[in-house]
Structure 1
Amino acid sequence: MVQLRWGTPEKLRALLCELVSWESRTLTEGEITFPYKVQEKLGDLDFFKKNPANLSLHEVDMGRHFVHAFYKHPEADETIVLISHFDTVQTEEYGDLEMLAFQPEQLTKKLLDRKDDLPEEARIDLESGNYLFGRGTMDMKMGLALHMALIEKASIEKWPVNLLLLTVPDEEVNSAGMRAAVKELVALRDKYRLSYKMFLNSEPSFSQKPGDETHYIYSGTMGKIMPAALFYGKETHVGEPLKGMTANYMASFLTQLMEWNTSFLESDFSEKTPLPVSLQQKDLKLQYSTQTPYRAAALYNVFIMKRSAGEIMDIFEKVAEEAAIRCNESYKALCIRERIEGVGEVQVLRYEKLLSYAVGKFGANLVEQIKGEVQANGDWDEREKSLRIVEKLMIQCQELAPAIVLLFAPPYYPAVNTSSDPLVIESVKLLKETAQLFNEEISQVHYFNGLCDLSYVQYKDESDGWTAFEKNTPVWGDSYSIPFADMLKLQAPVLNVGPFGKDAHQRTERLHIDSAFIHTPLMLEVLIKSMIKVKDAH
């Protein structure tokens, strides 16, 4: 009988600690080298020694790659896709223990010497001995470890199903890895004539509130979109303030209306989206001067369940128009009081309208030149580039000012939900029954309350609502894109089953040991075998 490398809780724990030790913070060298190490690790399995073409790296961007490891049974076409991400957030919050952030065993022991410095809940968990601390233990290298163990076991026991392991970079920033992987999923489906049965992620179970110890599984994931605005006023000297209009003044009206605006609220299965808030608001002056700030920008976070980008832009435009009315009324009262003519009324226009105006005014070549100059700035991310493209176009079209230009800034995560799918209903019931074997209660959440790469499969849009995103995202097609057409081809139910943990993205990030190394491996194996009706080899 072949011995499994990762078939016991102890071996699985060792695998996790090795994966965590390969630090892979987003946009670092570690994120670039990590997939090569995973490929080498999986390449030691007999199946991939015999089928090396089934294990490969695929380019994403900036030297980053995703890994696809394909266990293919000769008589199966039904395929379960195992999705994970291997990048983690940064580690500055660990302070002088930062060097141990990627050494879970050492960090957990060291924290015992400093337990009084921890929040009470984290201290209690540490003292219990039931948790392993460290960056990436929970979010989400344990998910990858679980999938590697599944691939190994399936290949040795020759389960009559196909398992496609997909682990990607960049989930924590723009999901560039998953967006790139979508095309490979379609290509593999067509090449091998596969039937995708389920997209199975293993993001961890997140608590719904402080002190929550419930283990959740998720039958969907919430979406996120980021409407943004460029405010363009009229410059003046601070000594002559009435000759201009600051962009900050204009921005204050829209931000007041956007914060916690219930127009964006959605509910489904008795769950609600968090209300929108501003993620950033700033003027775009690059240095201090006594010239008033006449260009400013704001980014707003909006969570979605069923609405498309087109619907969000329509709501955003109505809110912005109301903000402009209030701004103009306030400004008109000022002009009457000060007996001045003023600089004009603030208008609202979408980026697509500004772009069309600019092309008509000075031609497509100059517009592309402006975009190219912005894209060439390596210090700006996709959000900054989006704002700067609009800013530079407005500088060339100042006759449109004062104006609020509406746009979308990356990233965009479409919402996905398959709670009503018969396979999902059966799977959730089975997982709850399995959890009772170890006296654990599992609850279903219909929308994962963190962002998740499942957003890029099982996409549905009957009204081409995505075109509003394409037309109003300044960096679209250059440094950011979403494969909407290919996403439409990946129609299979989604489910997220991962280990229980706490405090993702905090210095107290930790993983529940029994959940990770005993309970969740069993639940995943039972789940997959139920879908393929595999009898235990023993």
Structure 2
Amino acid sequence: MLPCREDVLFYTNQLVNITSIVNTEGEKEISQVLHTLISSFPYFKENPSHIIRQQTVNDEQERYNVLAFVKGTKGQSNKTVILMGHMDTVGIDDFNQLQDVACDPEELHKALESEDLPSLVEEQLQSGDYHFGRGVLDMKSGLASHLYLLKYYSQHPEELEGNLLVVLECDEEDGSRGILSALKDLKSLREEHGFEYVAAINADFVSPRYEGDENRYIYKGTVGKLLPSFFITGAETHVGSCFEGLDPNFIVAELTRQINYNPDLCNEAFGETTVPPVSLKQTDLKPSYTVQTALSAYVYFNFFIHSWSPRDVLSKLKDQAEIAFENALNLYKERYKAFSKASSQPYVDIPWKTRVMTYEELDQLLNTEHGSAYEDHMKEFKEELLLDESLDTRMFAVRVVEEAWKWMTDKDPAIIVFYSSLYSPRIEVSGKNDLEKNLIDSLEKGVESVQPHYPHPIVTKNFFPYISDMSFVALSDDDAGIKAVTDNNPSWGTKHYANYDDIREINVPVINIGPYGFDAHKQYERMEKSYSLEIVPNLTNAVIKNLLG
């Protein structure tokens, strides 16, 4: 076991002290600090070309990744292990009156001693084995572990049979522009130095999966994430004549009821199951108050996948939307009939039918009907829409669908299903090829070697359950799955673009060995020192040696 605890803690504190909130100047600052720190290691003074500060591409922000590598001198192997992790954090607003010390673990610890804390937080604060602060768990202690190993092997390249490449990326907490940009350098470094990428090891945080869970988890592969979105049109009417129209909010409410928390939309693979989808935004698209019902509404959902492709998800959600639409119309009829009876007014059969289509189907229909006039108009519309910097990719996408809908000849109520944000691909590491088999075997041997040094079980599972940049170093989807993303995202190629071919070119199996703790993204974010500062670096090192040896 390497005596790494104090060094990793020192690096952790250095990094946490930098307020590197995503989409702020802090991201730029931390990349400069990391570049300066690594450049001060004697190895990198002698090999300055082995460290790169790379500016992200296709990014509104000025920010940078830091890549550094050590070439081992034990043998002639080109095998290369990638260590990866992000240096940005979420914000600190949740710290409330403690914002001033949110990024100072020592001062925060003192301040928390006089706070009224939940019992578990109080117990762990007093134990002395937990470290508090924004980013301490997610994931600067993981970065610190990587830094320690990078420095160690820069001092002992004779112990390294192969190469170690560290990728410290920005923008993980928002659009993953950091890792998507880093793929270009990973490719060029491979070509220039002959690197043979055999595995990637991420160091994002791990937490208990349920109350009382004592396991510390290692993950092979990762969950995928989609943002399926729905544009819903109704039939506008004055609220005084409400049954002469159809409120899209009524349909969207039924749609949310149908999809939210629905266990039928959990994806099981290898005995592990995703959490069900949950809505992240629901709104109508009326710009201001009027006494007429809205013309349209919008809702989008978080959707995790293990084995389903983006095309599978579109198909399943189209089915769910049809069920919801039919349920909404049936309930509408039931209430309309009850009102007609109560008010002694005649009931008139409603003219609307269930109608659901994907954005791809809508776009193809309008192209067939209107040809180049439609295509040219939408291209110009998107270019103009890009000038509105207030729109994120999700609102940009729905504005495109809203504009396309204006070209419809038949404007009867409908639901349009599409994607409106980055697809974070799912990754399976199941032993389907030699690289995966070697990584799994190396991990199993590594766990076996360090488990005697730690009292709690170290358990391996198949899918990292949170969104991370692990998704962008390998691709389990085929071309049809990716095409479902590109053809059904209205902002694709304008407001939003990701080069999935770059991912496929790297395509290296990835695992996560990260710090353990509680409340990432919350006020009491904290990591357990023993596991995070000692076991994580040593387990990572064991896997590296097993892979390269």
TM (norm. structure 1) is 0.93
Check the 8 A contact 2:4/2:148 in 1, yes or no: no
Partner of 2:506: 490
Partner of 1:377: 388
Partner deviation per Cα, 1:219-238 (whole Å, 9 max, x = no partner): 12111112110001122222
Distance 1:175 1:25 in 2: 14
Which segment drifts farther, 463-472 or 514-523? 514-523
Partner of 2:343: none
Partner deviation per Cα, 1:333-358 (whole Å, 9 max, x = no partner): 56775534646334211112222344
1:299 maps onto 2:286 in alignment? no
Check the 8 A contact 1:234/1:343 in 2, yes or no: no
Partner deviation per Cα, 1:267-290 (whole Å, 9 max, x = no partner): 223211111222221111222222
Distance 1:259 1:216 in 2: 28
Distance 1:418 1:453 in 2: 15
1:264 maps onto 2:280 in alignment? no
**Per-residue deviation at 1:405?**
0.8
Distance 1:417 1:53 in 2: 34
1:352 maps onto 2:379 in alignment? no
Check the 8 A contact 2:425/2:477 in 1, yes or no: no
Check the 8 A contact 1:245/1:294 in 2, yes or no: no
1:47 maps onto 2:46 in alignment? no
Partner of 2:475: 459
Partner of 2:215: 214
Partner deviation per Cα, 1:164-189 (whole Å, 9 max, x = no partner): 11111221222222222223322322
What is the 5 A alignment of 1:210-359? 210-331=211-332, 338-340=346-348, 342=350, 344-359=352-367
**Per-residue deviation at 1:244?**
2.2
Partner deviation per Cα, 1:2-52 (whole Å, 9 max, x = no partner): xxxx97432321221111111111112212322122111111112222222
> What RMSD, in angstroms, separates the aligned Cα atoms of the two structures?
2.1
Distance 1:197 1:526 in 2: 15
**Aligned pair partner of 2:531 in 515, 523, 529:** 515
1:500 maps onto 2:511 in alignment? no
The code of the aligned residue for 2:469 comes to D
Secondary structure at the residue paired with 1:455? helix
Secondary structure at the residue paired with 2:77? coil
Distance 2:359 2:153 in 1: 51
Distance 1:497 1:431 in 2: 10
Check the 8 A contact 2:442/2:543 in 1, yes or no: no
Q: 1:210 to 1:243 in 2, by over 3 A?
A: same
Secondary structure at the residue paired with 2:32? helix
**Per-residue deviation at 1:382?**
1.2
Partner of 2:418: 407
Partner of 1:64: 63
Distance 1:426 1:168 in 2: 25
1:15 maps onto 2:11 in alignment? yes
Check the 8 A contact 1:71/1:151 in 2, yes or no: yes
Distance 2:455 2:293 in 1: 64
Secondary structure at the residue paired with 1:415? coil
| Unmatched tracts of structure 1, length 5 or more | 1-5, 534-538
Which segment drifts farther, 343-352 or 497-506? 343-352
Partner of 1:125: 124
**Per-residue deviation at 1:437?**
2.4
Distance 1:257 1:69 in 2: 48
Partner deviation per Cα, 1:365-394 (whole Å, 9 max, x = no partner): 210122123222211211111112112222
Partner deviation per Cα, 1:201-256 (whole Å, 9 max, x = no partner): 01122111133332111112111112110001122222232332211012122222
The code of the aligned residue for 2:419 comes to F
Partner deviation per Cα, 1:285-336 (whole Å, 9 max, x = no partner): 2222222112110112221001111111111111112222333344455677
The code of the aligned residue for 1:447 comes to F
What is the 5 A alignment of 1:127-206? 127-158=126-157, 159-206=160-207
**Aligned pair partner of 2:428 in 404, 417, 434:** 417
Which segment drifts farther, 500-509 or 74-83? 74-83
Partner deviation per Cα, 1:81-100 (whole Å, 9 max, x = no partner): 11101111111111111110
Distance 2:412 2:180 in 1: 37
Distance 1:442 1:333 in 2: 56
Secondary structure at the residue paired with 1:240? helix
Which segment drifts farther, 259-268 or 225-234? 259-268
Partner of 2:404: 393
Check the 8 A contact 2:442/2:546 in 1, yes or no: no
Secondary structure at the residue paired with 1:465? helix
The code of the aligned residue for 2:400 comes to I
Check the 8 A contact 2:86/2:171 in 1, yes or no: yes
Sequence identity percentage: 30
**Per-residue deviation at 1:440?**
4.0
Distance 1:398 1:391 in 2: 14
What is the 5 A alignment of 1:432-447? 432-447=448-463
Check the 8 A contact 2:103/2:134 in 1, yes or no: yes
Check the 8 A contact 1:419/1:425 in 2, yes or no: no
Q: 1:296 to 1:365 in 2, by over 3 A?
A: same
Check the 8 A contact 1:273/1:303 in 2, yes or no: yes
Distance 2:483 2:307 in 1: 16
Distance 1:527 1:102 in 2: 31
